[in-house]
Amino acid sequence: RLKRYRNLMLTMLLGGLWHGAGWTFVVWGGLHGLYLSLNHAWKHLSSRLFPRPILPRPLAAALGWSITFLAVVVGWVFFRAADFDAARLMLEGMAGLNGVALPNALAARLGGLWSVLSGIGVTTYLGGGSQFIFTWLWVLTLLPIALIMPNTQEIMRHAEPGLLLHSPTEANEIRPLRAATAALAWQPRLRWALLIGFIGALGVLSMTRVSEFLYFQF
């Protein structure tokens, strides 16, 4: 078991170096190796410490998803940051250590609510509220898509993909809202042929655009 954790760490550290020759990439890989090791260790220990589930399955899944999401977001800061100082500034901002601020144009329209917000330390910055609102509308629109819509493994569930870890019934117990998207699973039907053909045509037409190879410096 210790060898598994060692191999996970080494693999993810090497994966970090493969993505870029910088210490931030090493930390990014190391964090993901640590996350995977903790996940395997928790699965092993929890099955012994708690033979019976202590939380309902949907609640446990939601808690696990939240912890995973937070951990991965922190890890990707180091992938994106140019150096450790930049990563520190990003993490401080994400944690709210620099305070919370709203565009002054938006604050002016909040009326009495702004008095409450300013009383708990919310400040303003010079700017209009349209970009702020537009950004959060994107978040609120895309978040349900990310949480509810099926991923590629679930779309191909009838083709027995190698990475589908749960049966459709188990997956629906873990994420009940995804049961409503079961009809989106791939089937050898005309509508799927038309959709894939359309996406393929878009891909071919977009090949005329000039784009830089993502890993050209790696």
Q: Which of 26, 24, 27, 28 is nearest to 83 (CA)?
A: 24
For residues 36 and 42, what is the distance between their CA atoms, to the nearest angstrom?
10
For residues 208 and 15, what is the distance between their CA atoms, to the nearest angstrom?
31
For residues 176 and 17, what is the distance between their CA atoms, to the nearest angstrom?
39
The catalytic position among 19, 32, 44, 158 is 19
**Contact status, residue 13 vs residue 31, Cβ threshold 8 Å:** no
Q: Which uninterrupted H or E stretch holds 209?
A: none
Active-site residue flag, 19: yes
Q: 61-83 burial by CB neighbour count: b if 16+ within 10 A, else e?
A: beeeeeeeeebeebbebbbebee
* Residue at 175: amino acid letter: R
User: By CB neighbour count within 10 A (0-12 exposed, 13-18 middle, 19+ buried), where does 190 fall?
Assistant: exposed
Catalytic residues: 19
